[in-house]
């Protein structure tokens, strides 16, 4: 692959049970780990990561099941549980010699980061969340025709077989739809990067579906158990979202407050791919977060 993050070294790092994460590593200083979303890879951080690397060691992995990371078969319910994927990230930090670190996630990576913050509060010093609400709340706020914006959640929640077959029949059309529909600045994802995203997703249909299927099954149970137990994110949390209230009719900040003890919530005019559309803004918010 000819595309990378300027000034970063790409490494394959073992994390657990034969799983290896492909990660770009650069900079020096306190550690910040950046987790990508769907339908993307670690390349989504190609503008933000160098800005952060002026002050921090920055690690941008491909999540389990995505990009050049391992794609284990979903032989168990928890193979792609966010709890498992969060443990991957802690294992990555262990392999790199990080104790506490800041963790920022976008989209799917944000769900992993959220779970890591709940499961590993001793390791996550600061938590950044880009453009999601927690898994349990995601299903609770999608109602009626408004749920059409998230049709892929329902498709990939179906039992194994049909979703994989349908998506594999026209993967570029499926994954490309989201790159187009969720962007307010198409030029933010140039042709070579788009092609890499589509190639990576085309090669990982089964594992991507497994990741989403977990969000409709095991992940819900984990979220509900934490909520019922009164568990909260105890570290400083910054959430950046599109104006979901205008789009879907709910107060995203109000949804986040019961999960947090130290919340800053911001609304962006950028589209879903905000790290590529407004990298200076996102980098500044991350730097502000890690100073809290």
With contact defined as beta carbons under 8 Å apart, do 272 and 242 qualify? Answer: yes
**Which of the pair, 3 or 37, is modelled with greater confidence?**
37
Per-residue confidence (pLDDT) for residue 262, from 0 to 100 = 98
Please indicate whether residue 143 is annotated as part of the active site.
Answer: no
Q: What is the pLDDT of residues 7-24, one digit of tens each?
A: 999 999 999 889 999 999
User: What's the mean per-residue pLDDT of the chain?
Assistant: 95
Tell me which residue of 85, 106, 128, 112 sits closest to 39, measured CA to CA: 106
Catalytic residue (choose from 36, 47, 56, 107): 107
* Tokens, residue 177: 């739809």
With contact defined as beta carbons under 8 Å apart, do 58 and 32 qualify? Answer: yes
C-alpha angle with apex 85: 253 to 258, nearest 5 degrees? 20
pTM tops 0.95: yes
Q: Residue 1 above 50 pLDDT?
A: no
Rg (C-alpha) for the chain, rounded Å, is 17
> How would you classify the pairing of strands 237-241 and 124-130?
parallel
Contacts of 168 (CB under 8 A, 6+ apart): 205
Per-residue confidence (pLDDT) for residue 144, from 0 to 100 = 83
- Helices and strands per DSSP (H, E), number in the chain: 14, 8
How would you list the strands of the sheet with 237-241, edge to edge? 9-16, 19-27, 57-61, 31-35, 101-106, 124-130, 237-241, 263-267
Q: Residue 245 above 80 pLDDT?
A: no
Q: Residue 86 above 80 pLDDT?
A: yes
Catalytic residue (choose from 42, 56, 152, 272): 272
Q: What is the pLDDT of residues 54-85, one digit of tens each?
A: 999 999 999 999 999 999 999 999 999 999 99
Per-residue confidence (pLDDT) for residue 113, from 0 to 100 = 98
Helix/strand/coil for 79: coil
Per-residue confidence (pLDDT) for residue 2, from 0 to 100 = 66
**Which of the pair, 195 or 249, is modelled with greater confidence?**
195
Per-residue confidence (pLDDT) for residue 240, from 0 to 100 = 97
Per-residue confidence (pLDDT) for residue 250, from 0 to 100 = 81
Per-residue confidence (pLDDT) for residue 249, from 0 to 100 = 74
**How many C-beta neighbours within 10 Å does residue 74 have?**
19
Please indicate whether residue 126 is annotated as part of the active site.
Answer: no
Per-residue confidence (pLDDT) for residue 142, from 0 to 100 = 85
Place 148 in a pLDDT band, splitting at 50, 70 and 90.
confident
| Secondary-structure class of domain 9-291 per CATH | alpha beta
With contact defined as beta carbons under 8 Å apart, do 44 and 68 qualify? Answer: no
Q: What is the pLDDT of residues 114-137, one digit of tens each?
A: 999 999 999 999 999 999 999 999
Four-residue CA torsion sign, 175, 252, 265, 117: negative
Contacts of 30 (CB under 8 A, 6+ apart): 55, 56, 57, 101, 102, 290
Per-residue confidence (pLDDT) for residue 16, from 0 to 100 = 86
Contacts of 45 (CB under 8 A, 6+ apart): 5, 24, 34, 36, 58, 60, 275
């Amino acid at each position: 692959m000819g595309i990378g993050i300027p000034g970063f070294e790409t490494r394959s790092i073992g994390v657990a049970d034969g799983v290896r994460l492909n990660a770009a590593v650069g900079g020096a200083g306190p550690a910040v780990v950046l987790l990508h979303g769907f339908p993307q890879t670690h390349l989504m951080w190609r503008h933000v990561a160098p800005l952060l690397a002026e002050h921090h060691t920055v690690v941008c992995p491909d999540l389990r099941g995505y990009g050049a990371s391992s794609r284990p078969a979903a032989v168990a319910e928890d193979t792609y549980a966010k709890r498992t994927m969060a443990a991957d990230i802690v294992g990555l930090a262990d392999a790199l010699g990080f104790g506490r670190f800041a963790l920022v996630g976008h989209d799917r990576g944000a769900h992993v980061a959220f779970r890591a913050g709940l499961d590993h509060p001793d390791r996550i010093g600061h938590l950044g969340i880009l453009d999601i609400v927690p898994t349990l709340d995601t299903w609770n706020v999608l109602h009626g025709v408004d749920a059409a914006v998230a049709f892929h959640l329902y498709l990939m929640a179906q039992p194994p077989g049909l979703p994989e077959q349908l998506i594999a029949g026209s993967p570029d059309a499926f994954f490309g739809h989201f790159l187009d529909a969720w962007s307010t600045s198409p030029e933010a994802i140039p042709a070579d990067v788009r092609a890499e995203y589509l190639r990576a997703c085309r090669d990982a249909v089964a594992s991507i579906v497994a990741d989403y299927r977990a969000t409709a099954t095991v992940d819900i149970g984990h979220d509900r158990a934490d909520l019922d137990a009164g568990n909260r994110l105890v570290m400083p949390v910054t959430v950046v979202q599109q104006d979901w209230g205008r789009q879907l009719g709910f107060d995203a900040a109000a949804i986040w407050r019961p999960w947090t003890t130290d919340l800053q919530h911001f609304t962006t005019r950028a589209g879903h791919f905000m790290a590529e559309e407004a990298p200076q803004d996102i980098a500044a918010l991350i730097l502000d977060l890690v100073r809290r």
